[in-house]
Amino acid sequence: MCGKCGCSDPTNEVKMVDPATGVETLIRHGGLVQADDHSNGHHHDHDHHHHQPHEGEDKPHVHGPNGEVISLEQAVLSKNDQIAARNRGWFEGRGVLALNLVSSPGSGKTTLLERTIRELKGKRAIYVIEGDQMTSNDAERVRDAGAKALQINTGAGCHLEADMIADAVEQLNPEPGSILMIENVGNLVCPSMFDLGERMKVAVISTTEGEDKPLKYPHMFRAAEVVLINKMDIAEVVEFDEDACRSNIAEVNPRATVLSLSAKTGQNFEPWINKLVEHRQ
């Protein structure tokens, strides 16, 4: 898991950037969320640590309240789930529809967000949390499209986590009945394991990626309630087989709603917008 990637780097810092002001806020001082942090609500103490294995240990670990050994992976996921549950309760209490957009890099998530924001104008208020390792480019694009946005830069981290969303939501303060779009870091592996408190995951796959992506990354597509096949405007040019792709999605997740569209041209975009307008938390 992430014990082998940059997320567990004790020097890693996570920053939140407001594209409207350029103000940066440090929300993670490095390493992973502390396993015994019992903070409540949407404010968290960030006295995080990174456990280094003792001699002879196979994996990094922490100790539970009764002295039991807990793997770092188990501790991190457990802590994340606790905060995600609080996030979910906050969203449900205000009727905020929170969506977690996941995909490979370059699938067109930000372009999808830009068109979605413009199409939803006057229908439902929309807020956006952008996740990238570096830069606030996407948050600036989203803001220019007409939505209030915050950028979370994860540094070496390859996914967003629930405490990052809690901090961003505290600042964004989405109004009751609105939609919160969370654009996760481009990665089809780790984001499948980290609940953010969202109502649903929306997986985006583009025609340039090939039809077998759902079979290569089944955990992500199995976790998604909606799958958007993007860049249909160039499907013929790249020889994309839509039927084969839909068949592969159904093999992994027969319950998923699959919509084919083009965020760039607006082709078949109306069913996606209708789903967002009609859906209630």
Query: How much is the pLDDT for 167?
Result: 94
Q: Give me the percent of the chain exceeding a pLDDT of 90.
A: 61
> Which sequence spans correspond to the domains of the chain?
10-30+79-278
pLDDT digits over 27-50, tens only? 876 544 443 443 444 444 434 333
What are 185's two structure tokens? 């870091």
The SS3 call for residue 251 is helix
pLDDT at position 29 is: 62
Amino acid in the structure at residue 176: P
User: For residues 57 and 184, which has the higher predicted lDDT (pLDDT)?
Assistant: 184
Digit-coded pLDDT (tens) for 184-228: 998 899 898 899 999 999 999 999 999 999 999 999 999 999 999
Comparing C-alpha atoms, which of 128, 172, 130, 174 is closest to residue 154? 130
* Residue 5: per-residue pLDDT: 58
154 versus 199: the higher-pLDDT residue is 199
Compute CA distances 77 → 28, 34, 74, 174, 209, whole Å.
Answer: 16, 11, 5, 26, 30
Give the model's pLDDT for residue 2. Answer: 54
What is the C-alpha separation between 253 and 137, in angstroms, rounded?
A: 33
Confidence of residue 10 (pLDDT cuts 50, 70, 90): low
Tell me how crowded residue 242 is: count the other CB atoms within 10 A of its CB. Answer: 14
Average pLDDT (12-28) is: 86
Fold for 10-30+79-278, please state it.
Rossmann fold (3.40.50)
What tokens does 250 get?
Answer: 């159904």
pLDDT band at 279 (very low <50, low <70, confident <90, very high): confident
Residue type, 212: D
- Residue 224: the pLDDT is 97
| Pick from 69-73, 76-80, 262-266: least confident | 69-73
Please list, in sequence order, all residues whose beta carbon lies within 8 angstroms of the beta carbon of residue 144, skipping any fewer than 6 positions away: none
β-pair partners for 32: 49
DSSP type of residue 54:
P
Identify whether the C-beta of residue 96 lies closer than 8 Å to the C-beta of residue 174: yes
